[in-house]
Structure 1
Amino acid sequence: MSSWFGEGTTATCPYRHGARSIDRRQDPAVLGSANRLVCARPRRGRGVSPIWTHWATSSQLNSFRLPLHDAGTGLSGLPLGRVVRGTQFVFDPFDAYRAGIVTSPNVAVIGSIGAGKSTVVKMMVARGLERNRSAVILDPKGEYGMLAQARSGVVVRLGTSSWWNPFVESEGDNLNFLTALISTARGEHLSDIERATLEQAWRSGACSHSSRPMESLWRTCSGVDDAMAATVRRFVMGDLAGLIDGPGPALTNTAALVVLDMSQWWLSESLAVAALVGWNMASHRLADPTVPGYLVIDEAWALLQNEFATTWLQGAWKLARARGIANVAVVHRLLDADGAGELGSASRSRAVGLIRDCSTYFLFCHAEGDLGAVKETIGMSELEAQYLVALPRGSALVRYGTSSSVVHLEPTLEDLPLVDSDGAMR
Structure 2
Amino acid sequence: MADLFDTGAAVPEHAPPRPLADRLRPQSLAEVVGQEQVLGPEAPLGVMLASGALSSLILWGPPGVGKTTIARLLAQETDLHFVQISAIFTGVPDLKKVFEAAKLRRQNGKGTLLFVDEIHRFNKAQQDGFLPHMEDGTILLVGATTENPSFELNAALLSRAQVLVLERLDGDQLERLIQRAEQDLDTALPLTDQARRSLLEMADGDGRALLNLVEQIAAWRVDAPLEPDALSARLMRRAAKYDKSGDEHYNLISALHKSVRGSDPDAALYWLARMLTGGEDPRYLARRITRMAVEDIGLADPQAQSICLHAWEVYERLGSPEGELALAQAVTYLALAPKSNGAYVGYKAAMRLAKKTGSEPPPKHILNAPTSLMKDQGYGAGYDYDHDAEDGFSGQNYFPEGVAREELYQPVERGFERELKKRRDYFANLRAKRRET
Shorter chain as denominator, the TM-score bin is under 0.3
The structure with higher relative contact order (CA 8 Å, sep 6+) is: 1
Q: Which has the higher helix share?
A: 2
